[in-house]
Amino acid sequence: MKPLKFIGSSEDDLSAFPREVKQAAGFQLFRVQAGLMPADWKPMLNVGAGAYEIRVHVLGEWRVIYVAKFADAVYVLHVFQKKTQQTRKEDIELANTRYKQLKEIAK
């Protein structure tokens, strides 16, 4: 099972979620650590190759963007509450910036 590694403020951001949301997101991240896909996900090609978004539908809409393609860990790039139909440009840009930082670290 791969360990979880959080990039930037993603761990603190996840900790600030309501308890029910943290539990749901944590279970889906556990599935990813075990080599499975989350129950509700989509690829995030605009973030980077191998980036995916976990969709959590508990007490609103929440998202966890992660990368699991590296052998050493599952990297959580960004977590946020989604308040609009389309993902905000700022959220995509932040995840993309962290993905680029990760690629430098994981070489």
| Cβ atoms within 10 Å of 17's Cβ, excluding its own | 22
Cα–Cα distances in angstroms (integers) from residue 61 to residues 9, 53, 86, 101, in the given order: 19, 12, 12, 27
pLDDT tens track for 34-71: 999 999 999 999 999 999 999 999 999 999 999 999 88
Question: For residue 107, what pLDDT is reported?
Answer: 56
Rounded to an integer, the average pLDDT of 7-31 is 96
Closest CA to 81 of 13, 7, 19: 13
Q: Which fold has domain 4-105?
A: YaeB-like fold (3.30.2310)
Question: For residue 61, what pLDDT is reported?
Answer: 95
Question: Per-domain residue ranges for the chain?
Answer: 4-105
The amino acid that residue 73 corresponds to is: A
Question: For residue 76, what pLDDT is reported?
Answer: 97
Question: For residue 38, what pLDDT is reported?
Answer: 96
Q: What is the pTM of this model?
A: 0.93
pLDDT tens track for 84-99: 888 899 999 999 999 9
Question: For residue 106, what pLDDT is reported?
Answer: 64
Q: Is the pLDDT of residue 15 over 90?
A: yes
